[in-house]
């Protein structure tokens, strides 16, 4: 299995059980080893009393993107902690794109940067997530390979 196939199969396994991301309206656009891209169009129910995208929504988008990037090697991985900076507002109708990139992976610990932008290129969020690998895999590679073999 190639790293790209592993990343795609890992994403499929995660997406099939990810009720939160789908309920919020996120779309998985791309995944590679150590990388993910998700999109979301801001809807009325994503906005706050200032009529801007609620910070929890942009955090959730960045966090979900982080999750797909750090789980792209079929090693169960969870978020250990994260930091976020809100730089500009987003509004109803804006299309947001989150891109997560692996900065470092050493042993069981990883560092990922996620940037959330609007269609016009404005950066609205910078997010840094630290991950920790735990026991388990997202899918059984041995069984999967044996079926093909």
Which residues of 77-148 form beta strands (DSSP E)? Answer: 77-86, 95-106, 109-118, 123-133
Task: Enter the tokens of residue 41.
Answer: 């169009």
pLDDT one-digit tens code per residue, 10-34: 999 999 999 999 999 999 999 999 9
CATH 3.10.129.10 fits 3-148, yes or no: yes
CA distance 87 to 122: 9
Write down the pLDDT at residue 148: 58
Q: What percent of the chain has pLDDT over 90?
A: 94
pTM equals: 0.93
Domain residues of the chain, as ranges? 3-148
């Amino acid at each position: 299995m190639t790293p790209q196939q592993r990343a795609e199969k890992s994403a499929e396994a995660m997406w099939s059980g990810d009720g939160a991301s789908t309920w919020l309206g996120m779309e998985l656009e791309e995944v590679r080893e150590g990388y993910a891209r998700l999109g979301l169009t801001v809807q009325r129910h994503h906005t706050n009393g200032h009529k801007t995208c609620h910070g929890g929504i942009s955090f959730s988008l960045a966090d979900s993107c982080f999750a797909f990037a750090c789980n792209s090697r079929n090693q169960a991985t969870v978020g250990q902690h994260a930091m976020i900076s809100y730089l500009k507002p987003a509004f109803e109708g804006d299309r947001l794109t989150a891109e997560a990139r692996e900065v470092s992976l050493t042993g069981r610990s990883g560092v990922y940067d996620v940037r959330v932008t609007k269609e016009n290129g404005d950066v609205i969020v910078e997010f840094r997530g630290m991950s920790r690998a735990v026991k388990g895999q997202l899918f059984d590679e041995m069984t999967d390979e044996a079926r093909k073999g």
